Structure 1
Amino acid sequence: MYNNRPHHLLEQVPLTVSPFVSLPTATTLSYNYKTMPSTLPPSSLGIPAASDDPSTQPKPKYIVSTSGHAAHPDDIVASCRALQEHVTKMQEEAERELREFEERIRERELAEKRRVAPGWLDSEARMLEPERPAGSSVEPQQNLMDKESEEQKATTAVIPATADEGEELDRAFGGMALK
């Protein structure tokens, strides 16, 4: 490319010429070409334009990135603050959702434990005991199932110890006589 000579690697690539394809050619600029200014000059008549108001006038964008994007430092700082607020807001929402999720898990586990052992987690007393009736004495009462009724005592006293099982069944269910 220097001194109208192509690169030595490009010389090795074969080119085909097609009469149907015309490559664009570079335009030639006139000798008195001048670039346009990025902002318009003030009015020569002395009439203030709408863009002369400093509050509505755009700030000069003199920080240019390699991609060609230009911005004013105040715009960059404002976008950084907006990004920081957005990230902070998202983090707070994520932490709130995490707390709610953990609370739901705790409640679900507590409900499962209460289902397995009702009353265990409802108070600080960790010993489950049945409540005694209001008028009970200090000595423990006998269970009703342990007491024998007078009728049972009378029948056990009358029954001889050597009675056979057939007689016991007849006494319990009544005799079955053959006719």
Structure 2
Amino acid sequence: MHDEHPHPLLAQVPLTVSPFLSLPHSVPLPYSYVTLPSTLPPSILQTNNSSEPPQYVQSSSGQTAHPDQILRSCTALQEHLAKLEADARKTLEEHKKRRDAEELAEKRRVAPGWLDSGVHILKPENVDESTPVPESQGQVQQAQRHDQSQGGQSGAGQSREAEELDRVFGGLSLNK
């Protein structure tokens, strides 16, 4: 008992102090000490229903289960997670396909016919005088005709421009 409140019967017994007698000291309990529950779970050996296996695995919350039940629940959880992962991968693949289709539609809108044929080399086409020419191209053609009509300087100017273009673009040669 506690020193402050001794038991009434023990208070009546006289104690003698002997130099040869040492009283025991209290032992400190470890931090991992857990008291036993006040009620014990029912025995696993005495089961009322013989079809169910004994549930001898007990959690800290008080639930009991058989190891086979735990294994079945873990397997079901694993299958559920695998199904969720497969669904997520399928959704991601559908999103990628839809995004690629949208990008292709945008490219076709910007440059129609470019992705539909196997030819990816753009070649300029000559515009005849008899075909109608849009205004912007007409102005460019008029400027070119004006330069050609100026006479002798046009030949030297074209060669100079050709030399500059060769210098800038590395001397591209046109093969027919």
Report the TM-score when normalising by structure 1. 0.45
Structure showing greater radius of gyration is 1
